[in-house]
Amino acid sequence: MNQTHAGSRGIRDFPAYTFLEAARYLGIPPATLRYWVLGRSSGPGNESAGSQPLIRAPASNRLSFNNLVEAHVLRALRTVHLVKMAAVRDALAYAERSLGIDRLLLRDELRTSGQEVLLERLGELISLTKSGQLAIRRILAAYLKRVERDESALPLRLFPLRPGSSYNTKTIVIDPLVSFGRPTVAGSGISTEALISRIDAGETVTALAKDYGLRPAQIHDAVLYERAA
């Protein structure tokens, strides 16, 4: 699929994924993802019960590739269970105001000064210990390395991470310009869904490896990725 540079940027904000698809690709509970994107309305007579969205989607029922990246990074912040969502929301708002950066979760600056401001604010809000800050910093660094960026430092491809997977494994990729943005085996354009459907139909890993020119390990990783959904 050929795209101009401007076109490729536009497609990254195109509403391409349902909540269920995005949640499955990222390994996030659908209800959690909906809360991050839609927020929560306040109950009758209880204004404090409401909460604003953390991720701005292009449509009420569809997410973009950029939204997937934001949710991927947000999941890294939530991996340390001491960090409550209200604290994350306040810290992100503070960081964006202080740095003047729109959509901080998308930006490469989060690896540098943005991360420090974010950690400082989280420390103020929840008395985050030094060891807690170190844990978040290490987790953030690992997740951010799974976002490949273009020459403008904007997200280009995402290597999703499943629970229990190695941070260093990058077999599966989500690229908005390949296979309509569905997960594929990196460098091949072959969707993980196509591989799992053929395995479920009774074909062998050896046969698929020969057909697609893949290594058996790549097919095994695709199966594990799909089965973890």
In a domain, 180, yes or no: no
Is residue 46 predicted with pLDDT exceeding 60?
no
In a domain, 172, yes or no: no
Can you give the residue range of the structural domain that contains 39?
Answer: 5-156
Condensed to tens digits (0 to 9), the pLDDT of residues 121-140 reads 887 777 777 777 788 888 88
Residue 176, Cβ neighbours under 10 Å: how many? 27
Mean confidence (pLDDT) of the chain: 86
In a domain, 144, yes or no: yes
Counting the structural domains of the chain, the total is 1
CA distance 8 to 2: 9
Residue 6 has what pLDDT?
47
Strand residues in the chain grouped as ranges (E): 147-149, 155-158, 172-173, 184-185, 190-191
Range 7-23 average pLDDT: 90
Q: The whole model's pTM is what?
A: 0.87
Range 82-100 average pLDDT: 80
Condensed to tens digits (0 to 9), the pLDDT of residues 140-189 reads 888 999 999 999 899 999 999 876 677 788 999 999 999 999 999 999 99
pLDDT band at residue 225 using 50, 70 and 90 as cut-offs = very high
> Which has more confidence, 126 or 191?
191
Is residue 81 predicted with pLDDT exceeding 70?
no
In a domain, 35, yes or no: yes
Buried b / exposed e across 189-202, counting CB within 10 Å, b at 16+?
ebbbebbbebbeee
In a domain, 179, yes or no: no
In a domain, 56, yes or no: yes
In a domain, 190, yes or no: no
Residue 48 has what pLDDT?
44
